[in-house]
Amino acid sequence: MSTQKKPLSDKARAVGERIGSLRDFLEFLEENGQCITWTDEILPEPDVRNIAVAAGRDSMNGPAVIFNNITGYPGKKLVLGVHGSFTNLALLLGHPKGTTIKELFYDIISRWGDDKPLLDFIEPDAAPVNENRLSDNFNLYDLLPLYRINEYDGGFYIGKANVVSRDPRDPDNFGKQNVGIYRIQVQAPGEFTLLSVPAHDMGRHIMAAEQDNVPLKIAVMLGNHPAMCMFAATPVGYDESEFSYASQMMGSPLRLTKSNNGMDILADSEMVIEAELMNGVRSFEGPFGEFPGSYSGVRKIPRFKVTAISHRNDPIFENIYIGRGWTEHDTLIGLNTSAPIYAQLTKDFPEVVAVNALYQHGLTGIISVKNRFAGFAKSVAMRALGTPHGTMYLKNLIMVDDDVDPFDLNEVMWALSTRTRAEDTIVIPNMPMIPIDPAAEIAGKGHRLIIDATSFMPPDKLGSDSKIVTPPAGPEIDEIAKLIQLLQNGGQS
């Protein structure tokens, strides 16, 4: 799947070439005032959580935070908030500070796809991730500065790992090899549970392995290239490669190598944990503070055994704060959730201008569309519910006109205030829903809401006498607004 491509700017190309790993990106963020180091001694709990939440409050400009002095973990490094603000994403894509969310959305759209993958394969011996290799006596509690993310989580979670698995029924297919982010709870020094469900690509791999009673080997990549994390959380097609998408977005090659258990992995990751599914075993897991801002409860889920660990010298453990929003999770996946919905909608409805599905993985979405006739936006909304992501996630949809920026909530509220009739609200009962939505009627089922906040069109008569004020808008005004910001900051962007 791809959208209208534009050549990358020189700056974007230069950043793409410079950043090959998490370390490169942290250095780049630091140079731009977007990464700080917390050097005071802190306890794993509750200090890490407190600092992560405070740093994450500013979703536009919050920094990544490196911790290098955690009690009981001398010499170990932890980083949070790498994708915690839109400015961090802007820098990754070669934009200056002050870039708007809407500009980032259109930039990602212009890079979207997997038709031009840029992948370099290097020998395992030359891969930095293999600088150190362990083959027994694994102790994840010692290797990683683990901690409890939210106070009632069932244990210590790895929340931002990119997990590689192959389809056991088509193991040589590169596209069907999946890279996804799944929550991992450490259950023993060398064992962990990993939550996936049948709807996930990895859920399909687990079920196939257990049905055929064959081993399912996986590689858990930690501390990865920042573009990889963005695509591991993106719902791309089952036979599309997340590696290809990530490389195409950066416009420069990603370096891959082979793990010892046969997965393609990033050569420059901080750590790769190789593991194998314990067929048929289910263990207590959870609760875990999830992205809707509520805990998902205790379940019995598949368990894995560590078989080998590779890591760079002085590995950096990258993790995420997730819970009641706004959190890094929302920034990490928001634009990449919006982009495929946009790409799918515009195939049938080129009138769609932009899609904002930033909120809680798209539980609320705002779609801007050029209305063709009365009721048209409602038809577009129905189509959005039928997209792969919409089927489970788009619970509340707000439809706005093409003159409303769906990423500017002041404008969206204006449309709601002036263009919505109560009758323009549709409730569709008993629809599928993600099981962890706290507003579900029963887990997995609930109601959908469409609010049509687009203007009246023929044959609509209502509101036809009123005339909208058209204040100056467009790129020229956007530039003036940025200039004002610059002047206000004393010439510093």
Partner 1 sequence: MNTCPRCQAAEEKIRAEHKGLNAQGELVWTIFHCNACEFTWRDSEPASTIDYNKREAFFRVDPEKPYPVIMPPAQYK
Helix/strand/coil for 37: strand
3-state secondary structure 166-196: CCCCCCCCCCCCEEEECCEEEEECCEEEECC
Q: Rounded to the nearest 5 degrees, what angle is found at the Cα of 221, between the Cα atoms of 216 and 227?
A: 125
The residue from 240, 274, 285, 290 that is catalytic is 290
Indicate the burial class of 438 (C-beta count within 10 angstroms; 0-12, 13-18, 19 or more).
Answer: exposed
Element (H, E) at 480: helix 475-488
Name the site residues for partner 1 (rule: CB under 8 A): 43-46, 71-75, 139, 141-142, 147-148, 151-152, 154-156, 185-189, 195-198, 203, 206-207, 210-211, 279-280, 282-285, 287, 295, 297-302
Q: In this complex, which beta carbon is closest to partner 1, that of residue 110 or of residue 294?
A: 294
Q: b/e for 83-103, b at 16 or more Cβ within 10 A?
A: bbbbbbbbbbbbbebbbbbbb
Taking the complex as a whole, how short is the minimal distance between the CB of residue 351 and partner 1, in angstroms?
41
Contact by Cβ (8 Å): 92, 19: yes
The rounded radius of gyration (Å) of the Cα atoms in the chain is 23
Picking from 264, 259, 261, 263, the residue whose alpha carbon sits closest to that of residue 247 is: 264
Nearer to partner 1, 74 or 237 (CB): 74
Q: Find the shortest distance in angstroms from Cβ 37 to partner 1.
A: 18
Q: Which is nearer to partner 1, 298 or 483 (CB)?
A: 298
Q: Are strands 288-289 and 425-432 parallel, antiparallel or unpaired?
A: unpaired
Minimum CB distance to partner 1, residue 280 (Å): 4
CB of 301 to partner 1, least distance (A): 4
Per-position DSSP letters for 207-269, written without gaps between them: HHHHHHT---EEEEEES--HHHHHHHTS---TTS-HHHHHHHHHTSPEEEEE-TTS-EEETT-
- Whichever of 143 and 249 has its CB closer to partner 1, that residue is 143
Shortest Å distance, C-beta 304 to partner 1: 14
With respect to partner 1, which residue has the nearer C-beta, 74 or 438?
A: 74
Q: CB 21 → partner 1: shortest distance, Å?
A: 28
- Is 240 a residue of the active site? no
For partner 1, which is the closer residue by CB, 75 or 458?
75
Residues annotated as catalytic are 290
